[in-house]
Amino acid sequence: MGAGQPSRELRGGEGCPVSMILHSERWMDLRRFRALHEAGMSISAIARETGLNWRTVKKYVEAPPLMVPPKGPSRKGCHQLLIEPFKPIILAWLRADITLKGTVIHERLVDQYGFTGNYQRVKLYLQQARPEVMAELGIGPDELDGLHRRFEVIPGAQAQVDWCNEGGILARVGIKQVYSFHMVLSYSRDPFCCFTMSMDLATFWDCHRRAFAHFGGAPKTIVYDRTKTVVRWHVAPGEAVPLHPEAVAFAGHYNFDIDVLAAYRPQGKGRVERQVNIFRDHVLAGRSFSSVVELDAAFMSWVPLRRARTHRTHREVIGLRDHAALRPLPARPYLVTDRHLRHVGKDCLVAFEASLYSVPARRVRPRQLVEVRVGGDTVSLHLLAPDLSGSTLLAVHPRAHARGT
What is the per-residue pLDDT across 238-253, written as a single tens digit (0 to 9) for each?
677 889 888 999 999 9
User: For position 1, what pLDDT does the model report?
Assistant: 43
Pair 44, 53: CB distance under 8 Å:
no
CATH domain 158-325 topology:
Nucleotidyltransferase; domain 5 (3.30.420)
With 0.85 as the threshold, say if the pTM is over it: no
**Per-residue model confidence as pLDDT tens digits over 333-380:** 888 877 889 999 999 999 988 899 999 998 889 999 999 888 777 888
Average pLDDT value over all residues in the chain: 81
Percentage of the chain surpassing pLDDT 90? Answer: 27
Q: Give whole-number Cα distances, 220 to 52, 176, 206, 217, 246, in Å.
A: 84, 36, 18, 10, 18
pLDDT tens readout for residues 266-310? 667 788 888 888 888 888 888 889 889 999 999 999 998 888 887
Sorted by where each begins, the domain ranges of the chain are 8-61, 84-137, 158-325, 338-398
